[in-house]
């Protein structure tokens, strides 16, 4: 399924909106290892990431069904695993609800809301006059294939019937990857009515396919056949917790510069008629963009009434209108990384959650760690980069790609249209770019006073202005560099240090396709650090976004 996010629009070297950090690491790996676009291969990559973590206890197929609460604090969660006939009582200091529906928080008695707020509640122009219980509906997708020979389709008796008139606002000319507008359930309870919604969505989805195959309006579909379709409704909206801050339309439209920014978003404010496909005379969505990428504050992930509960993803503390933008998966992923990093920082500091989020020093430590991990936070720069103290020279540089840019603290260009608020960035490519004819590109940092370095981080260009996601829709796929590394990324390079132990090659990276290169080091009295580039993944010149020495 498409991991949608902020990168539906962008411009090279001006507006780089794609999410970075863990989600970028996963997507880049998926692109290289999964040119066949198999959904199972994405599952495998995620599974491998789990298994690679020694500090992680992974309980798959396990569902939280109860919470033991004392006062305003969760003491334990109770979970069951049917596959092994086991149950678990899990005690923790911090509990995090990323379940989408908010089951853990719901069981713990965390305050939440559902439905659509009235305009007057948060002064939102996109809201309705009166509050109602309606939500975004759920969807079922399918994939289909051209089998090269006629493929008849007989729908079940209970499939719905659709005419071309019924679908006049819903484009169905491409058949390989279903339709998000096969949507139903927005006027129901998307949790309690989920089984009914699934049944109706199957009837709708198969009815739409019946229309394509058998109505006579689409004769070119004769050789096409269903290949896969879901039985699990793709749920857009259910519960939203009430946090220490409720993110609103005004917050995201003004791109408020939150002190505790922990993630960002940039999908449009994407609302749908609650009647879904039954709103036959309406467009299936309304998608105004916010003027800028916007920050999401930590406080919208902190429960307002349960002291050790955090949440991220669909159950974020946000109004319906703000949620209509934050709800997409890549935005949820960066929320998850932001919140996870903050939770780990609180644990590391041995602070209870209710104290940690109130302390600006703890929040700042988590923000700096996120930047170190390659996450983008509007308006924030990584501090303490020893490379900034060095004199920097290079084999060549372009006018808009000076070598000094590798220490300017910016890890992407976002000054262009639909970038970030002008006061939160500065114009420029923010990367070193060599002349295309440079046959032996290198860049060198030289310190007047030698430094000690324990970690080197190199940030490379992975084309963040472009769309990149696992996708089965060919028209979107054609906008990507899928199935291979991104052309801008360095493929092979060496890092050479000159310190108290003389000249040492500390890394020789081959076949790279990742954006973030983390190199633990023990370098004392470091005088120079030299980057020698052997090849890119296709671009005719070298680009390096940032070099960080700590």
> Are 272 and 137 in contact, with CB atoms under 8 Å apart?
yes
Among the listed residues 16, 17, 23, 293, the single contact to another protein using CB under 8 A: 23
333 vs 424, beta carbon nearer another protein? 333
Nearer to another protein, 70 or 448 (CB): 70
Select 97 or 260, whichever has its Cβ closest to another protein.
Answer: 97
Candidates 373, 393, 528, 535; binder of another protein (CB under 8 A) is 373
Q: Does 33 bind another protein (CB under 8 A)?
A: no
Q: Are strands 490-499 and 502-509 parallel, antiparallel or unpaired?
A: antiparallel
How many residues sit in the footprint of another protein (CB under 8 A)? 77
- CB neighbour burial string for 61-72, b if at least 16 within 10 angstroms, e if fewer: ebebebbebeee
Confirm or reject binding of residue 3 to another protein (CB under 8 A). Answer: yes
Q: How far apart are CA 344 and CA 373, in angstroms?
A: 14
- Pick between residue 276 and residue 441 the one whose CB is nearest to another protein: 276
What is the closest distance, in whole angstroms, from the C-beta atom of residue 365 to another protein in the complex?
11
Nearer to another protein, 183 or 438 (CB): 183
Q: Please identify, using beta-carbon distances, which residue of 340 and 428 lies nearer to another protein.
A: 340
* Residue 54 near another protein by CB under 8 A: yes
Q: Which of 258, 265, 236, 340 is nearest to 22 (CA)?
A: 340
Any contact of residue 265 with another protein (CB under 8 A)? no
Burial class (CB in 10 A: 0-12, 13-18, 19+), 173: exposed
Comparing C-alpha atoms, which of 375, 390, 166 is closest to residue 280? Answer: 166
CB burial readout 332-365, b (16+ within 10 A) else e? bbbbbbbbbbbbebbeeeebebbebbeeeebbeb
Asked if 57 interacts with another protein (CB under 8 A), we say yes
Binding residues for another protein restricted to 400-429, rule: CB under 8 A: none
- Residue 234 or 379: the one with the smaller Cβ distance to another protein is 234
Tell me which residues in 118-147 interact with another protein (CB under 8 A).
Answer: 138-139, 141
Q: Which CB, 21 or 401, lies closer to another protein?
A: 21
Per CB under 8 A, which region of 42-50, 117-125, 186-194, 426-434 contacts another protein? 42-50
Subset of residues 174 to 193 that bind another protein, contact rule: CB under 8 A = 180
Q: Shortest distance, CB of residue 226 to another protein, whole angstroms?
A: 17
Q: How far is the CB of 301 from another protein (least distance, A)?
A: 10
* Cα-to-chain-centroid distance, residue 44: 18
The answer to whether the CB of 394 falls within 8 A of the CB of 444 is: yes
**Residue 454 gets which letter from DSSP?**
E
Distance CA 441, CA 453 (A): 24
533 in Cβ contact with 442 (< 8 Å): yes
Which one of residues 13, 28, 30, 77 is an interface residue with another protein (CB under 8 A)? 77
Q: Could you say which residues in the range 195-254 bind another protein, by CB under 8 A?
A: 230, 232, 234-236
CB of 84 to another protein, least distance (A): 9
Toward another protein, which CB reaches closer, 88 or 223? 88
C-alpha to C-alpha distance for 394 and 59, rounded to whole angstroms: 50
Stretch that binds another protein, among 88-96, 118-126, 144-152, 210-218 (CB under 8 A): 88-96
DSSP 169-204: TS-----TT--TT-EE-TTS-TTTTHHHHHHHHHHH
DSSP-assigned beta bridge partners for residue 73: 70
Among positions 283-322, residues that touch another protein (CB under 8 A) are 312-314
Site string for another protein, 324-353 (x = CB under 8 A): ----xxx-xxxxxx-xxx-xx--xx-----
Nearest to 205 by CA among 223, 222, 184: 184
Task: Compute the least distance from the CB of residue 235 to another protein, in Å.
Answer: 7
Among 18, 103, 415, 472, binds another protein (CB under 8 A): 103
Q: Where are the alpha helices (DSSP H) in 434-492?
A: 474-477
Closest approach, Cβ 421 to another protein, in A, equals: 25
Closest distance to another protein from the beta carbon of 62 (Å)? 5
Residue 212, helix vs strand vs coil: helix
Collect all residues with Cβ–Cβ distance below 8 Å to 220 and sequence separation of at least 6.
none
Smallest separation (angstroms) from another protein to the CB of 1: 4
Residue whose structure tokens are 């390096």: 544
* Closer residue to another protein, CB minimum distance, 55 or 154: 55
User: Distance between CA 383 and CA 340 in Å, rounded?
Assistant: 21
Phi–psi pair at 388, nearest 5 degrees:
-65, -20
Which residue bears the tokens 């962008």?
10
If binding is defined by CB under 8 A, does position 275 make contact with another protein?
A: no
Alpha carbon distance 129, 118 (integer Å): 5
Residue 61, by phi and psi: left (phi above 0), alpha (psi -120 to 50) or beta? Answer: left
- Judged by CB under 8 A, the residue of 10, 21, 274, 378 near another protein is 21
Question: Which range, of 1-9, 389-397, 405-413, 488-496, touches another protein by CB under 8 A?
Answer: 1-9
Q: Is 123 left (phi over 0), alpha (psi -120 to 50) or beta?
A: left
Residue 180 or 442: the one with the smaller Cβ distance to another protein is 180
Q: Does residue number 1 form part of the binding site for another protein (CB under 8 A)?
A: yes
Q: Is 46 in the site for another protein (CB under 8 A)?
A: yes
Q: Is 277 in the site for another protein (CB under 8 A)?
A: no
**Beta carbon nearer to another protein, 46 or 133:** 46
Of 211 and 327, the one with the shorter C-beta distance to another protein is 327
Residue 63 found at the interface with another protein (CB under 8 A) = yes
């Amino acid at each position: 399924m498409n991991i949608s996010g902020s990168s539906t629009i962008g411009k090279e070297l001006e507006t780089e909106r794609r999410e970075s950090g863990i989600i970028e690491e996963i997507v880049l790996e998926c692109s290289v290892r999964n040119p066949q676009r198999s959904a199972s291969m994405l599952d495998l990559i995620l599974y491998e990431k789990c298994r690679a973590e020694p500090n992680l206890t992974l309980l798959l197929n396990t569902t939280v069904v109860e919470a033991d609460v004392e006062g305003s604090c969760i003491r334990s969660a109770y979970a069951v695993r049917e596959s092994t006939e086991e149950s678990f009582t899990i005690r923790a200091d911090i509990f995090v609800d990323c379940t989408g529906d908010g089951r853990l928080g719901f069981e713990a008695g965390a305050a939440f809301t559902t439905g659509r707020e009235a305009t007057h509640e948060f002064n939102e122009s996109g809201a309705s006059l009166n509050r109602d219980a309606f939500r975004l509906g759920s969807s079922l997708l399918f994939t289909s294939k051209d089998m090269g020979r006629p493929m008849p389709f007989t729908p079940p008796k209970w499939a719905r019937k659709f005419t071309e008139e019924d679908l006049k606002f819903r484009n169905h000319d491409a058949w390989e990857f279903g339709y998000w507008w096969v949507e139903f359930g927005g006027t129901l309870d998307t949790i309690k009515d989920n089984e009914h919604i699934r049944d109706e969505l199957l009837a709708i989805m198969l009815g739409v396919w019946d229309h394509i195959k058998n109505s006579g309006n689409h004769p070119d579909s004769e050789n096409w056949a269903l290949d896969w379709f879901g039985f699990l409704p793709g749920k857009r909206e259910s519960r939203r917790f009430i946090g220490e801050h409720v993110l609103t339309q005004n917050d995201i439209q003004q791109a408020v510069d939150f002190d505790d920014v922990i993630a960002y978003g940039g999908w449009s404010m994407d609302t749908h008629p609650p009647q879904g496909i039954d709103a036959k005379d309406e467009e299936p969505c309304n998608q105004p963009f916010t003027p800028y990428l916007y920050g999401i504050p930590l406080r919208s992930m902190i429960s307002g009434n349960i002291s050790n509960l955090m949440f991220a993803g669909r159950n974020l503390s946000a109004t319906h209108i703000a949620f209509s933008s934050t709800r997409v998966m890549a935005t949820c992923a960066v929320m998850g990384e932001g919140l996870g990093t903050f939770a780990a920082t609180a644990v590391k500091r041995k602070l209870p959650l209710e104290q940690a989020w109130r302390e600006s020093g703890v929040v700042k430590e988590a923000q700096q760690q996120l930047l170190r991990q390659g996450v983008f936070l509007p308006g924030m720069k990584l501090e303490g980069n020893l490379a900034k103290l060095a004199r920097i020279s290079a084999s060549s540089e372009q006018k808009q790609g000076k070598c000094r840019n590798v220490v300017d603290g910016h890890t992407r260009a976002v000054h262009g249209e639909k970038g970030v608020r002008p006061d939160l960035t500065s114009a420029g490519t923010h990367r070193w770019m060599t002349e295309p004819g440079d046959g032996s590109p290198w860049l060198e940092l030289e310190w007047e006073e030698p430094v000690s370095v324990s970690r080197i981080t190199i940030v490379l260009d992975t084309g963040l202005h472009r769309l990149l996601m696992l996708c089965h829709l060919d028209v979107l796929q054609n906008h990507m560099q899928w199935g291979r590394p991104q052309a801008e990324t360095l493929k092979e390079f060496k890092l050479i240090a000159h310190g108290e132990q003389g000249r040492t090659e500390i890394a020789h990276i081959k076949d790279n396709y990742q954006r973030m290169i983390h190199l633990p080091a023990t370098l004392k009295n470091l005088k120079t650090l030299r980057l020698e580039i052997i090849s890119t993944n296709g671009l005719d010149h070298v680009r390096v976004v940032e070099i960080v020495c700590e």
